[in-house]
Structure 1
């Protein structure tokens, strides 16, 4: 179904307007959003995406509506995986908590621009060369295999590579100057680490688009649906980051769910390529009579896999242990870095003590693994020693026990 130009323009203006609203009313003034703020705005953006989908269903028909929802759900799941990468980059560069919103919004905007370019490039290739479906299918199958191999979900080698490359190419000041990209240090104008963060996020966004775009083209070749499903999956990602920041490490089986989805779509693409085949060395260049996967079945499989994956992760004792340890590590590191904000230090220390208490309540096999992590134990000890020094200097006594060996 051809989409009128006026609908295209109204959609683009609406998306740009939402991004501008997000910047002006939420990001421009540096602050850490509350859990309530993140939850309300995350729900609002999801609601907007669903209302838009209903509009597609009403005016575009059942097939077009099902394609939009299948694409949106898939891209939203992949965008959650992007949050892991954002977390790695933000942690690697020690971005101040109140400035993280601007980094995330930049990442979302750049990702949308990069993916839009890939969408139109992919559409042009598909219209000209049917064999591109084979390539897209094999890309997804390879990505799925990479996600399920040992350590595949944790390494995020793409992001680590871009982080190292950015650190080599740019020489910056040692400290941040708010959210500024440039600062004056020793009388000289220098780049701040904030620019490094944005370069790293931009680079990983391009790499992630190489997986994301073939996935949605495996569900629909309608460029309008591909674009809108991708755009709406990215909108609200900043709020989602702060909403599920404490749960990211809990989703230990997400990579397996994403691998299953990408593998399923990869097979679907290969089957479609065989059905449209014109490659001379396959069936003498003639289409192959194969079963094609319907959009309805695709949507059912995608939602089913995600529900099972998320439920299994949240119910997993291993996930609970991993999430608690990661939170303790993050809060201990931030406590040591925050020096001039006593209220924030108190808040972080209280969280750290609560997480250590939760760790002590874990099954022995998990506690043994934690005690064997020398860097983690050393980090926790330094946090408690720093607390003692601060309390002694203030004439008080530190609260909370030191980590047990």
Structure 2
């Protein structure tokens, strides 16, 4: 057996691996679908503007659900698996904050009425779950089949860390986005909204409303962010169930988080630095995974410390600026 192959197998053994029966996958998917439908058909069954108080409560509920699932994984598969799930959840949750601010730019650019924003983000999250599942299984398969993919993902994370550290806020230019250009060129559209509909019929013609373009843009941005987040989580876990479940619970709470943070981008001025540090950390961890495996608890500690420091320093800087002005 070659040293490289032996190192790869030894590295892989450091991660939690277990068999997930088809019925267990089905049960988890059913749980996620139930939570989504309850949110859509019970909590937000009518189109209305979501207040900050409502969003804060809902965000707290989603975070509680996501963190509580750690206990399920702990009881089911033990401490290693539970630690990997929690690390993956925290990584995805922290990276998703940047995603939220990009959403804010998109919805503002298209002038989406506030009472319709939840519905378009709901379908955006639904699509994101499907796309993430595809990316996750593809990523795990690539790592298991080709050792060099570890270095590709690690290098990609370091490059992403560099990119994020170079700007203070999400740089989004919807008018130059190729997705929006394609919609305007190939899809018959109208500039008028028709409630929460993605398509409307005008003078016998079926036209896409602006919400359709917004939805495609939301999905496109999630694909871009997945390029960062999926390799980042694969640095702390190689078990598909852990990676997907941590992603799913982090994404489920994105809509509520958006309504909490959409207007607060300025208060998190050092967010890009914190995210860059996290991405660089997991990138180095992935690059060195065949030489040294950092314990899951150490990864968790680094992520929690960086997130806490980023939030505290940002809020203190914002408070000092408010006092001085």
With the length of structure 2 as denominator, give the TM-score of the two structures. 0.88
Q: Identify the match of residue 256 of structure 1 among 265, 273, 293.
A: 273
Q: Identify the match of residue 102 of structure 2 among 75, 79, 85.
A: 85
- The separation in 2 between residues aligned to 1:158 and 1:194, in whole angstroms, is 14
Change (3 A) 1:222 1:187: closer
Where 2:288 maps in the other structure, the secondary structure is helix
Alpha-carbon deviation of 1:162?
4.8
Higher relative contact order (CA 8 A, sep 6+): 2
Q: Identify the match of residue 121 of structure 2 among 95, 100, 104.
A: 104
- The separation in 2 between residues aligned to 1:265 and 1:160, in whole angstroms, is 32
Where 2:206 maps in the other structure, the secondary structure is strand
- The separation in 2 between residues aligned to 1:160 and 1:299, in whole angstroms, is 38
Corresponding position of 1:342: none
Corresponding position of 1:131: 148
Where 1:139 maps in the other structure, the secondary structure is helix
Query: 1:67·1:225 contact (CA, 8 Å) conserved in 2?
Result: yes
Alpha-carbon displacement from aligned partner over 1:192-226 (angstroms, at most 9, x marks no partner): 11111111111111121111110100111011100
Alpha-carbon deviation of 1:28?
3.8
Alpha-carbon displacement from aligned partner over 1:221-263 (angstroms, at most 9, x marks no partner): 0111001000000112111111223323311111110000000
| Paired residues, number | 307
Query: Does the alignment pair 1:301 with 2:318?
Result: no
Q: Identify the match of residue 15 of structure 1 among 16, 20, 32.
A: 32
- The separation in 2 between residues aligned to 1:186 and 1:319, in whole angstroms, is 57
Of 151-160 and 12-21, the range deviating more from structure 2: 151-160
- The separation in 1 between residues aligned to 2:318 and 2:176, in whole angstroms, is 28
Change (3 A) 1:78 1:157: farther
Query: 2:188·2:206 contact (CA, 8 Å) conserved in 1?
Result: no
Where 1:154 maps in the other structure, the secondary structure is coil
Note the residue ranges of structure 1 that are not aligned, 5 or more in a row.
276-289, 322-360, 364-405
- The separation in 2 between residues aligned to 1:232 and 1:181, in whole angstroms, is 26
- The separation in 2 between residues aligned to 1:168 and 1:299, in whole angstroms, is 45
With the length of structure 1 as denominator, give the TM-score of the two structures. 0.71
Where 1:190 maps in the other structure, the secondary structure is strand
Q: Identify the match of residue 154 of structure 1 among 161, 170, 190.
A: 170
Change (3 A) 1:126 1:243: same
Corresponding position of 2:282: 265
* Greater Rg by CA: 1
Alpha-carbon displacement from aligned partner over 1:304-359 (angstroms, at most 9, x marks no partner): 000000111111138967xxxxxxxxxxxxxxxxxxxxxxxxxxxxxxxxxxxxxx
Change (3 A) 1:76 1:134: same
Alpha-carbon displacement from aligned partner over 1:64-97 (angstroms, at most 9, x marks no partner): 1111111000000111111011111101111001
Change (3 A) 1:181 1:76: same
Q: RMSD of the alignment, in Å?
A: 2.2
Where 2:200 maps in the other structure, the secondary structure is strand
Corresponding position of 2:228: 211
Change (3 A) 1:175 1:262: same
- The separation in 1 between residues aligned to 2:96 and 2:174, in whole angstroms, is 15
Corresponding position of 1:368: none
Query: Does the alignment pair 1:231 with 2:232?
Result: no
Alpha-carbon displacement from aligned partner over 1:274-297 (angstroms, at most 9, x marks no partner): x2xxxxxxxxxxxxxx33322111
